[in-house]
Amino acid sequence: MDLARTDAPATHIAGAPEAPGEKPGGTAVERWALVAIVLAMVLLPTLEAAVRRLTGAGVPGAAVYTEHLTLWVGFIGALLATATGHHLALSTVDLLPERLRPWARAYGSAITTLVCAVLAYASILLFGSFLLGAPVFVVMAGFALLLFYLAGTPVASVPAETFRLVVSPTLPAIPLLTVAGYVLAEGGASKRLVRAAQAVFGWMPGGLAIVAAFVCALFTTFTGASGVTILALGGIILPALVGEKYPEGFSLGLVTASGSLGLLFPPSLPVILYGVVAGVAIDHLYIGGLVPGLLMIVLVAAYGVIVGIRSRAPRPPFQPREALRALWGAKWDLGLPLLIIVSVASGFATIVESAALGAAYAIVVELAVHRDVHPVRDLPRVLVHASTLVGSVVILLGVALGMTSYFVDAEIPTRLLTWVQAHIHSQWEFLLVLNLMLLILGSVLEIYSAIVVLAPLVAPLGIAFGVEPVHLGVVFLANLELGFLFPPMGLNLFLSASRFNKPLPLLYRKAFPFLVIMAVGVLLITYVPAITTGVVALIKGP
């Protein structure tokens, strides 16, 4: 079956990132400013790591400049996210009848303008605009301004918290690793990874299903977004599965589910964002997520093996030479997560320096080795796309910190902790309630929104119930990974319905077996903490 064919991407879904090859928006000045800033961010930490190893002293002010450049990427990227309609938002407007959608979008835009211009009193209007597709950061900013105003606190606390992001030493890793993933995704990484996985796993029962789970997970790892995986790989993998006699419904569910696998592996952006928001060591989160992430892939692939045997899918013979050639062809793509893991785990570089090394590595590989990305025609567009996603995340993180500041002043976390301790009396009960809450909220909120809103509240609760912070972080992210498939609002369901032109009820039915299978994996990760903490203790020590 020819896996090189792809189809044109479907209509964009609210909150979903751009597919590779899509043209960026904004003005030329904004785009080239972002390109210059991102390249400077890649260069400074890379020089810092290299010079420190050679001379014992780093580049003066490199870390500070990188932190400030991150904020500029966030601001300009947020402007482009506004210009292109890529701010993180719900997709509920697509559930409305066609004739009502322009009115809903107009309402959301009007509320967005109002919040950005003046203090919004009407919380009901804000909530309504949120449900109808207004950007999450606008709604959060409006609520934060309203709460501070009603409490008699200067509303300057909201922008002040945004500027406080600059002092976060790990924040620059977000744009740097996003750039690394987007550059590889823009090149021929998808075809090389598909070929390598097919050569290694294709001979096994259900081999093509294993390939689908593995490649989708790895592609999501690079981009940090299941949407890019479904849009970019869906047209390659779904026809291949159907052509190899896998049932169409199973194939549709597999591609939909596999799009959310891989979020626990480096250089995944959600892991970094959770570490920044919850104050957990990002390198420990990456190491702790390795086995849980592999467990989720193995469970989905195992179901694929069963279906492959039942369907009598063809099994081409294993060819060692082709496997070696395919792996050799994908060696540079597979080297990115390996580079980040080794550089962080060995202590060679900090997480920001490792992110810069990863970004520089991806750029050099795609420009000079594979030459899939043209340095003038393609690279600036890819950097702008990556920065647009970063902008939507950073602006959301800034206003979320503003709202968190109000919660702290109002002692909301303390009151919440008191209430939880009064009604929940054991760690296993707390984890069960947490799983259910994250599953439901993870299906409604976009993953980055869920992290910045929920992590500051969940982290202290986990500490109070004796849950190890890295274990709690992996459980948190695994549940959000599962939330992509939870009806009726799971983002992967909307994306697949749009990408493959299928009705949502059909997606609900076909994705349900994978939802159950992945839920089993989440429960194992939750109640067998050694799956997470054992690897961290082995590599980092107790």
- Could you give the CA distance from residue 147 to residue 232 in angstroms, rounded to a whole number? 42
List all residues 6 or more positions away from 536 whose beta carbon is below 8 Å from its beta carbon: 284, 287, 288, 470
Largest CA-CA distance found in the chain, in angstroms, rounded: 73
- Cα 17-505-211 angle, rounded to 5 deg: 55
186 vs 41: CA distance, rounded Å: 20
Q: Which among 364, 387, 367 is positioned nearest to 378, based on CA atoms?
A: 367
Q: How far is CA 240 from CA 4, 299, 300, 301, 376, in A?
A: 10, 21, 18, 16, 34
Contact 448, 400 (CB under 8 A): no
Tens digits of per-residue pLDDT, 185-216?
777 777 787 778 778 877 888 888 888 888 88
Q: Which residue has the tokens 């390598």?
A: 196
Query: Could you tell me which residues come within 8 angstroms of residue 21 by beta carbon, excluding any fewer than 6 positions away?
Result: 186
List pLDDT tens digits, range 467-477: 999 999 999 99
536 neighbors 530 (Cβ within 8 angstroms): no
**For position 5, what pLDDT does the model report?**
37
CA dist 150 → 91, 100, 411 (Å)? 31, 34, 16
Contact 328, 335 (CB under 8 A): no
Contact 178, 17 (CB under 8 A): no
pLDDT in tens, the chain (542 residues): 444 333 333 334 444 445 555 556 667 777 888 888 888 888 888 888 877 777 777 777 777 778 778 777 777 777 777 777 665 555 556 667 777 778 777 777 776 666 655 434 434 554 555 555 556 566 666 766 676 666 666 656 666 665 665 556 667 777 787 787 778 777 777 778 777 877 887 788 888 888 888 888 877 787 665 556 776 677 677 887 887 788 888 888 888 888 788 888 877 878 888 888 888 888 889 889 999 999 999 999 999 889 888 888 777 788 888 888 888 888 888 888 788 778 877 777 777 888 888 888 888 888 888 888 888 888 888 888 777 767 766 766 666 666 666 666 666 666 666 777 777 878 888 888 888 888 877 776 667 777 877 888 888 888 888 899 999 999 999 988 888 888 876 777 877 776 777 887 888 888 899 999 999 999 999 999 999 988 888 776 65
Residue ranges per structural domain of the chain: 28-167, 173-540
Helix residue ranges per DSSP H, 244-330: 248-258, 269-278, 282-288, 290-311, 320-329
